[in-house]
Amino acid sequence: MSSPDTLTVGLAQIAPVWLDRTRTLAKIVDWVERAAASGCGLVAFGETLLPGYPFWVERTDGARFNSPVQKTLYAHYLDQAVQIERGDLRPLCEAAARYGIAVMVGCVERPMDRGGHSVYCSLVYIDAQGTVASVHRKLMPTYEERLVWSPGDGNGLRVHALGAFTVGGLNCWENWMPLPRAALYAQGEDLHVAVWPGGGHNTGDITRYIAKESRSYVLSVSGLMRASDIPASTPHREQIAGDDMAQVFANGGSCIAGPDGKWIAEPVTNEETLVVATLEHRRVREERQNFDPVGHYSRPDVTQLVVDRQRQSTLKLRD
């Protein structure tokens, strides 16, 4: 942060070492270091980058019931998923604290508070002191994702102060859901992070739309995925990758829009890169002059939103 009213942000568009938690985490830590060296106060990574998006589903007849292939791949996914309470994110938290940088990263979370055998698409915010400040589990997985991920809850619909800004985020297509967006706006969000598994077709329209709707900065952070990113040890690798090891499953599309909806950084595709920009909070204040969706341009006496932020569980213990 070069001044109290500015924030330098980094969008780390990278590929995972697919379904390898340890090696992907090491790669993420390396890119956190690069972002810190570029002067960033915040660095963000794509949806479920750690350890990877379930690309196998559409490539292996994923809806076939009781399939041995699907069972094997799901078990492997569980093995490589993130258990935050076990300390799986400790190296990343330590890097955030070491460099004084906030981190938003998409994880495949295997939480013990839901029994430890289901996974969630989770967006984790780690503050510049290295503390896991929130874990947002995707409210509604999209299409074939529902064969792998469980629906989340409202516990992670939270925002965080970061310098002059208030930052929040959503996973992939839940950025299209008006009410979760409104829940973040109402908490003062003026820097929105939308994370994606990768695809310029996703980010080109919605990034500018959310920016203009909210009069906020919007960072769309995408991953990359190529057949060559699948380790040789991955179960059913040949079936997933096919014959063309150069093929691209996800081509990125990371970009930044300003609070007037105009591009600050247009979508970048087909390369691992760190997109860096310095944001001025003054621009938020200027654009809120004529439209503030939860302030002077709202009617809470007519319409209100109720959000349940309890962490959902099937069990309540009374000892």
Q: List the catalytic residues.
A: 47, 138, 172
Q: Is 289 exposed, middle or buried (0-12, 13-18, 19+ CB in 10 A)?
A: exposed
Taking the C-alpha atoms of residue 143 and residue 54, their distance in angstroms, rounded to an integer, is 12
Pairing of strands 6-13, 42-44: parallel
Residue of 97, 120, 229 lying closest to 171 (CA atoms):
120
Q: Are 13 and 72 in contact (CB under 8 A)?
A: no
Residue of 18, 72, 90, 97 lying closest to 50 (CA atoms):
18
The H or E element containing residue 8 is strand 6-13
Q: Are 4 and 164 in contact (CB under 8 A)?
A: yes
Say how far residue 228 (Cα) sits from the centre of its chain: 23
**Phi and psi dihedrals of 311, rounded to 5?**
-70, 120
SS3 of residue 302 by DSSP:
coil
